[in-house]
Structures are given as C-alpha cells and as structure tokens.
Structure 1
Amino acid sequence: MRIIVRILLVLAALVCATAPALGAPAVDDATGRKIDELLAVRAEAGAVDRGELLARLSARLLGTPYGANMLVGSATEPEQLVVDLRRVDCFTFLDYVAAASRSTDRDQFVTNLIATRYVDSRVEFTQRKHFFTDWAATGRIAATDITASLSPAAVTTTKHLNAKADGSNYLPGLPVVDRAITHIPAAAVDGGVVAGLRTGDFLGAYTPEAGLDVTHVGIVVQTPTGPVFRNASSLADYQVVDTPLADYVRTTPGIVVLRPL
C-alpha cells in the first residue's frame, strides 16, 4: 500500500504503541501454513544469491490480498507484534520476505521478523522502522542505499521525517528525524539505471511531500520479459502483483533504491 495512506490510517485508528508485546504472537492457521511454505522455499533454494532468494520467496506471496493498516500500536496504545500473512501492505510484504530469507524454522522467522521491523529488536512503537530509509539508517541495518551510485542525475534533499509542512507530526509520539534522502527523478531512470538494478533490490517511490521519504515500496525482479516491480498494490489489483518497472516508475516523481545486505 502507499505509505502515506498507511500512516494516516494508523493515526486515525490509533492502533500502535510504546510497550513491548508480551509472549509469542498468535498465528492463525493460514499464516502458519504460509510461513511453512516460505521456509520450504528457503530450504530448497540452497546457495542461491540473496537477490534470487528474495525473488523466489516474494513470488510465493503473489496474489496475497492487500490489507491496510496491518500493524498495531501508537503513542497511546501498546505495540503488538503482528504476524499475519493473510493480508499484507507494501511494508509488511517486505518485512515477511526479508525475515523468511534468514530463517529455517518458525521460531527463527519470528525472531528475524522482530529484528527486521524494530530497531534493536525492541517491539515498541518508538522503535518500529516507520520509514523506508530506516532500513539503511537504523539497526539492525538491513540494506545499503545505492541510489546515488546508479545515476549522475541523482538528487539529494534533506528531509525532516515525520514533520508535516504545517509543523504537526504524521505520527505523534515519534521524533522528527533529519535525513538526507537521495532519489533519481523518474525522467532520469533510463536504460543505464535499469541495468544497474539487481533482482532483490528494494525500491521506493520518492515523494517531495514534507516529512516523508517514499509513498510506496516493493522489490525489483529481473525477468526474461524485463524488470518488474513486485509490490502489495493498494490500487485496482488489491493484492501482491508484478508491475512492469517502467510503467510504475512513470507514475512516480522518482525512485529510491536500497540493496539488501
């Protein structure tokens, strides 16, 4: 889903928090089966490189219904560890794929999900990685921002993440974080940029809006018919889909690219 919509829904529903979750998360049967499927893909993949592994795992989630506001917690309500593969938004889609890529059983999956979603594995609203570039800027570091290396046309802008143009915050209870965000304008995403992308790269749709880095995220997958953007779509498809990368980029102001570690 688009991250700005997700943030607004979180604020409206007031469903996240500062207190750590207690005990193991409840996992429904459908989610348990899907986790086992992902773990089987991981086991069968052997020694493939990380990008190919992410592609194989994410392929297993194609067709998964999109769900808005999947995570639970706010500045006034306890954070809960959510493990729900019946529906995903664009960010939880990446969370689950990244966690599965490092796991061999369900316990490891949950442990790695926590480490992926939360700074220092602390299940707290204030420690949740709310912004795409948190993956490359806060522990545990999950990716490297390679955007600047892909094009001389890359532009760097200092953003005040979480601060709206009117001075209020998108997410009350979280600080404003100043961060240099580098993006490649959509018009500059040419053949050279595309050639520099690898299967498994995380791609975000840059936004010039104050307080946000991107509005949507997904995974780049190189296919025999060209690169696609694999994402949990909140548009007409309402599910995890493959969208031709060039078609998607044309709908954005630009892209931010993180390469998984």
Structure 2
Amino acid sequence: MYNPIRKHIIVPMKFSLLDNWGFKSIILILTLFGCSLSLYAQQITCSPEDKSLFETKIVDLGKTKGANLGDTISLVGQSFIGTPYVEKTLEIGDTETLVVNFGGLDCTTFVENVLAFSLMLQNQQKDFENFTNNLETVRYRNGNLIGYPSRLHYFTEWIRNKEKKGLVKDITAELGGVELEKPINFMGTHRNLYPFLASDANFEAMQKVEKEIAKENLCYLPQNQIESKEHLIKSGDILALATSIKGLDVTHTGIAIHQPDGRLHLLHASSKNGEVEISELPLADYLKNIKSNIGIIVTRPILKSL
C-alpha cells in the first residue's frame, strides 16, 4: 500500500537560463548584481514515489477527453478519488519549498494539483518541470515562491490573485452573492498553530497580508440560496466554503460536480471520510450539516495559457 508519510528528497528547480548560458555565467551575473542564486533557484520537495506517480498520472490523463474545460477539471479531479486525506503536507522542513505530494492531499492541495494538471492538458504539456511550474503558479502569490508568506494561505486572497493572473473568475456576485465586512486575521491571532510563524519575519509578513485582505469585503452566496442557484454552477467550478468562524474566510474547498441525480455535489478531499470523494449528499444538503458554514464562494477556472 502506498504510504503518504514518507521520506522526501529536496532537489533544486531547473533554472531555464542555465541551458543557454551555463552555470558559471549565471553565478557571475548574480554576483555582479549582488543577488543570491538561492533567491532564484527555488527548491522542490518530492519523493521518488511521487515522481513515479506523476509519470503514471500524466500518461493516464493524456487519455482524458473533456467536452470543455469544466469537464476536464472534473475528470482530473475524479482521477484522485480514493487518495488519502492528509493534512499539513506542505509543512516540511524549516524553509518553504514546492512540495509535490500525490499520496496524501488536503482540500487545498487537492484543488491545486487538479488545476496544475488541468493546465498541462490545456497547454498540451507532459514534463514534470511543466507540472512544477504550474503548481508554483497556482499555489503562490503572483506565481512566485518567495518564502512561506508568498504561499496563498487565505483562499479569498488566492481567488483574487489568480483572477488577476487570468486563471479564474469569481462569479459569486453574479449568482447573487452578498458582501460581508469581516477582518481576516486567524493566522495572526493564532500564531502558535503555525510552526513557520515562529519566525518574526514570517509573522510580520503575514500580518501585512491580512491587512491587505481586509481592504475588500467577503462576497459569498448564502447557504439558503444555493439550491435555487445550483443550475448556474458548472462542473469544474471551484467552491470555497465561507465560514462564521472569527478571523477566517474559508474552512474548506473543492470542485463542483453535477451527478446523475440532477443535483450539484462536492468533489473534495474529505477530512471526515479520510479520502478524496464525491459528497454523498447534494452540496446544499451537505452544507446544512456544517454549523459554521454561511454559504459558498464560486470561482470559474479560465486557465489562460501561461
């Protein structure tokens, strides 16, 4: 049985300019400009098992024939069904690296991996380097890994940042979403829950991020309106579960998928059932069992070529 808890290997990401200019030339240029090579050559954390799983998955996904982008995304998402739910898979080591882990996913890394693979299919890519570039684009602010604070920890900021990059469009307001003025500062007020925030530099950077997020109101589709609007939500749309919990914007995320019962369900990495699955109940009914849920944020992937 595949074990999601295993030893990872940290390897440097490829620096495309090296192919043309040579390593010594790059070192010289960076030295002249007072730059550190580590600033540009980010690192990947990936086990041999995960690299092998990538090779298998990209071959299998090459056979995927979605009628449209939404169908492709939902098919890619379904290829992960049964993958174990594992939290905190990105909290490895004492520095931020680009973690590749297919053996265990939480709700966010599930969505990230689905989008990274969907970008590959959209752009007819096959190489592992293409995948890691896509994953970095999806996971980090402006697509650049520059330490722990550059990871998009709050999903509302993730949506806004990826909307600017042309990867998604927030359609919540179009569906009749309502705005809520709410401070988003859970990480800043619960520093002890996040090991990387032991660093004062990381903590101060995250406080600045929270202040920026707070400049815009939270827009969500209220829970009692979801059933009447679910026909407007397409398979492949990204759903984020808005919450009443103080300081938090979203507690869970997944992918919309219409089922044979004619209803909208949630394709997600479930902490309750311990794996990636399609919710047994329709989304509107599923949310009624979550006390802190106030509704959803709906984002439609566009995935323009990078």
Superposition TM-score, scaled by structure 2 size = 0.70
- Which consecutive unaligned segments of at least 5 residues does structure 2 have? 1-37, 192-196, 198-202
Q: Which has the higher helix share?
A: 2
Q: How does 1:217-256 map to 2 (within 5 A)?
A: 217-225=253-261, 226-235=263-272, 237-243=273-279, 244=281, 245-251=283-289, 252-256=293-297
Superposition CA RMSD, Å:
2.4
Q: Is 2:230 the counterpart of 1:200?
A: no
Q: Could you tell me how far apart the structure 2 residues matched to 1:240 and 1:163 are?
A: 26
Q: 1:253 to 1:47 in 2, by over 3 A?
A: closer
Aligned length: 235
Partner in structure 2 of residue 92 of structure 1:
109
Residue 145 (1) aligns with residue 170 (2): yes
Cα deviation for residue 212 of structure 1 reads 1.5
CA distance in 2, matches of 1:134, 1:40: 33
**More relative contact order, 1 or 2 (CA 8 Å, 6+ apart):** 1
User: 2:240, 2:254 within 8 Å by CA — same for their partners in 1?
Assistant: yes
Please give the alpha-carbon distance, in whole angstroms, between the structure 1 residues aligned to 2:158 and 2:89: 19
Task: Name 1:126's counterpart in structure 2.
Answer: 149
Change (3 A) 1:37 1:246: farther
Following superposition of structure 1 onto structure 2, how do residues 1-261 of structure 1 map, counting pairs within 5 Å? Answer: 24-46=43-65, 48-72=67-91, 77-103=94-120, 104=125, 105-123=127-145, 124-139=147-162, 140-151=165-176, 154-163=177-186, 168=189, 172-173=203-204, 174=206, 175=208, 176=210, 177-178=213-214, 179-191=216-228, 193-225=229-261, 226-235=263-272, 237-243=273-279, 244=281, 245-251=283-289, 252-261=293-302
Matched residue SS, 1:230: strand
Segments of structure 1 that go 5 or more residues without pairing to the other structure are 1-18
Aligned residue identity for 2:153: H
Deviation at 1:247, TM superposition (A): 2.8
Distance (whole Å) between structure 1 residues aligned to residue 61 and residue 101 of structure 2: 19
What secondary structure, in the 3-state scheme, does the structure 2 residue paired with 1:48 have?
A: coil
- Cα displacement (A) at 1:197: 0.5
**Structure showing greater Rg:** 2
Question: Against the structure 1 CA distance between its residues 117 and 227, is the aligned structure 2 distance closer, same or farther, given a 3 Å change threshold?
Answer: same
